[in-house]
Chains A and B, each alone.
Chain A
């Protein structure tokens, strides 16, 4: 196999570009986060050390944002994982029109996120929405989908699930596809029930893929912005204000030091999640399969 030298000229442009565009802003962000830096007062920038970090350490709004982000991330990933797995298992048995139906189920993942959120905002509308009309007609509603503090987070989770169940489905479906059929045939010959072969063959063999899907989705849900911004903007009050929305607001107020400090903290959290992912992914590849 060809080694080093010539490969450098193929790899360098892309890698240099990628790391420059990511690392330079990150380094700059770190630097800004140590300053009292307001966008409207460019002449009055003072070094304040860790003040931007210590400020939100005991700020109830930040604590609240951490709680909201955690609730949203865990809730969304859990719902999406279970639904995706159920769908993948359903599609593991071939049926008529499997392929066209599969494509239709994938559509939400590719629709512009802002447009997807807009669709749901129309559906959720308290008076004009189609959902509340039929809920009222059946005596179950109307419900304040986006204006009730508790329900708003559930509604956002639902919309996120609508958009990304296809991702979970696709990853686990691909994982199921490559499981050796002989194992299931042998189990069936030995008289294993469907549940038994799921529990003792599918789950252990699919664990790696499941873990991967949950971690990738977890990191994506953690940094979700578009859907929340369009549906509630973080409201009502601060009920759906995730760390990302809080960060956006700090930016909007022109408080660059704080906005960057929040960003750096988010990055550290994601980096830890990434590290876990890397460990999980690189290990099984090292083992001969």
Chain B
């Protein structure tokens, strides 16, 4: 029993600084969003304070926050739907049909994710300018689907190959088409995979900054661009900036906690079997 207890103590001692390092920034900005201006600049820093909602009220009235929220949401939901439809089809294709070089093509799909976004955004800007799609939902949406898609495909392949083949074959003997099998049999069985792919795609779009910074001006401006814009060293905005930042990261935190079971599988993309 002794060594186990010792090990437990040591683990605890090692974990405390790690947890502080990880969580303190999140805690600190959340606390700041509920502080009065006086408390924000207090020296020494205030750990106990009476929380107020003024910062939230101000950020919601001083800037068109709901307009930006709508932009972010519409684009993120569109990205989710787009990458789910294309990802389901392609994922099923890779899972069930093997052709020459299918392994290589599958890997090529992943490689497209690696291209530096800066390389893409400059020509993309020029093309969107020519098409008159700058500062529109469509311009960002198309780009984001292409960011989310490789991930969705890889994730879904992993879920689709686990669907038992004989169930599918039985349905096809009963006269179901391939697409029918996918929609009526495979998708319901692999539903958890689709949920994970959906959430990942949503976050890709919700978090994206560079394309939004360059392609959106006023009409299609998304929340990360707004946050970066509020980011000044001029102190008076700290309260509002914190409140906005907390609202923007809230969906991420909720989804991460909801998604925890699938994180390992999703993030390692099957590179690690487990």
- B233 and A125 contacting across the interface, CB-CB below 8 Å: yes
- B32 and A115 contacting across the interface, CB-CB below 8 Å: no
- B122 and A119 contacting across the interface, CB-CB below 8 Å: no
Contacts A15-B109, A120-B25, A274-B111; is A112 near B224 (CB within 8 Å)? yes
A residues in contact with B98, CB < 8 Å: 1-3
Contacts A93-B7, A122-B28; is A15 near B90 (CB within 8 Å)? yes
In the assembled complex, A59 has its CB within 8 A of some CB on chain B:
no
A residues in contact with B256, CB < 8 Å: 103, 106-107, 110
For B268, give its contact among A103, A113, A170 (CB under 8 Å).
Answer: A170
Residue pairs across A and B with CB atoms within 8 Å: the count is: 260
**What class of interface size applies to chain A in its complex with B?**
35 or more
Least CB distance from A71 to B in Å reads: 18
Alpha-carbon distance A259/B31, docked complex (angstroms): 41
- A162 and B21 contacting across the interface, CB-CB below 8 Å: yes
B residues in contact with A90, CB < 8 Å: 11, 14-15
Least CB distance from A152 to B in Å reads: 14
| Chain A positions near chain B (C-beta within 8 angstroms) | 1-4, 6-8, 10-11, 13-15, 17-19, 21-22, 24-26, 28-29, 32, 87, 90, 93, 95-96, 99, 101-116, 118-123, 125, 128, 130, 133, 137, 162, 166-167, 170-171, 173-175, 177-178, 209, 212, 219, 222-223, 225-226, 229-230, 244, 247-248, 251, 256, 259-260, 263-264, 266-267, 270, 273-274, 278, 281-282
- B127 and A263 contacting across the interface, CB-CB below 8 Å: no
Contacts A87-B18, A105-B19; is A6 near B178 (CB within 8 Å)? yes
Least CB distance from A30 to B in Å reads: 9
Nearest-CB residue, chain A, relative to B178: A6
For A162, give its contact among B22, B92, B149 (CB under 8 Å).
Answer: B22
Nearest-CB residue, chain B, relative to A86: B14
B residues in contact with A266, CB < 8 Å: 116, 118-119
Number of interface residues, chain B, beta carbon within 8 A: 94
In the assembled complex, B210 has its CB within 8 A of some CB on chain A:
yes
Nearest-CB residue, chain A, relative to B90: A14
Nearest-CB residue, chain A, relative to B22: A105
A residues in contact with B51, CB < 8 Å: none
In the assembled complex, B158 has its CB within 8 A of some CB on chain A:
no
Alpha-carbon distance A3/B97, docked complex (angstroms): 5
The 7 closest A-B pairs by CB, nearest first: A7-B97, A10-B93, A14-B90, A11-B93, A263-B119, A29-B123, A223-B116
- A4 and B97 contacting across the interface, CB-CB below 8 Å: yes
